[in-house]
Structure 1
Amino acid sequence: MPDTNEYATTFAFVDADSDGRISAQEYADLMHRLGDSCTEDQALGAIKAMDEDGDGLITLDEFTAYMSDTRS
C-alpha cells in the first residue's frame, strides 16, 4: 500500500468539512474553485472511479490508492 502521507495535504484541501471523506459535492466544489465546470454526474463519476468500498465517499486510503495507480 502506498504511503498516505504523500497525499494527505491534497486530500485535506478537498475534504472541506474535515470529516475524513470526500463527497461528490466537495469534489464538484473544488472543480468550480479551480475554474472547471463539473456537473453532478461528472462529480459522481469521479467519486465512483476512486470509491473502493462503494459507500459513495472517498477515504484517504482510497484517494492514495487511486492517485498512486494514475501516476504509474
Structure 2
Amino acid sequence: MPPLTVEFDAEEYRRLTASAECEQKTPEAYVHDAVIERLTEYRRRIEEAAYEGAEWSAELNRRLS
C-alpha cells in the first residue's frame, strides 16, 4: 500500500499524540482507525440514503398504479 503523508501543526500533533496515547495506539494507528471509521460511516449513510430513496420510489409507484 502506498504511504500517505498528512501534515499537522504543532497543536494538532500534540492533540493527536495525546489521544493516541490514551487509546494505547501509535499516532499512525490512531489516524488509520479514525479514517476507516469515517469511511465506514460515510458508506453506511450512502446505503441508508439509497434504501430510503428506493422505499420512496416504491411508494410513489404504488400510488401511481
Instruction: Give TM class, smaller chain.
Output: 0.3 to 0.5
The alignment's TM-score, normalised by the length of structure 2, stands at 0.34
Q: Comparing both chains, which one has the higher relative contact order based on Cα–Cα distances under 8 Å and sequence gaps of 6 or more?
A: 1
Using structure 1 for the length normalisation, give the TM-score: 0.32
**Which structure's residues are more often helix, by fraction?**
2
